[in-house]
Amino acid sequence: MMDNLCSQCAYYAYDEDYEEYVCDVQMDEDDYYRLSGRQFKSCPYFRNGDEYLIVRKQN
């Protein structure tokens, strides 16, 4: 389930150094510690990467 959400996230980007997709959200060490230490049902940093979502809602 989380993998599916990651692929739709605006922060999911291809890293040429690692040659794979990674979460590219900017967070500091404290944020990373809080995120990795808790069990979330969904990512608190998720942002829908669908640029046309707003346009479809306006119709």
| pLDDT by 10s per residue, the chain, length 59 | 455 677 888 888 999 999 999 888 888 998 888 877 777 777 888 888 776 665 666 65
Query: How much is the pTM?
Result: 0.60
Per the structure, the count of domains in the chain is: 1
Domain that holds residue 38: 2-58
CA separation for the pair 43, 51 (Å, rounded):
19
pLDDT score recorded for residue 45 = 83
Q: How many residues does the chain have?
A: 59
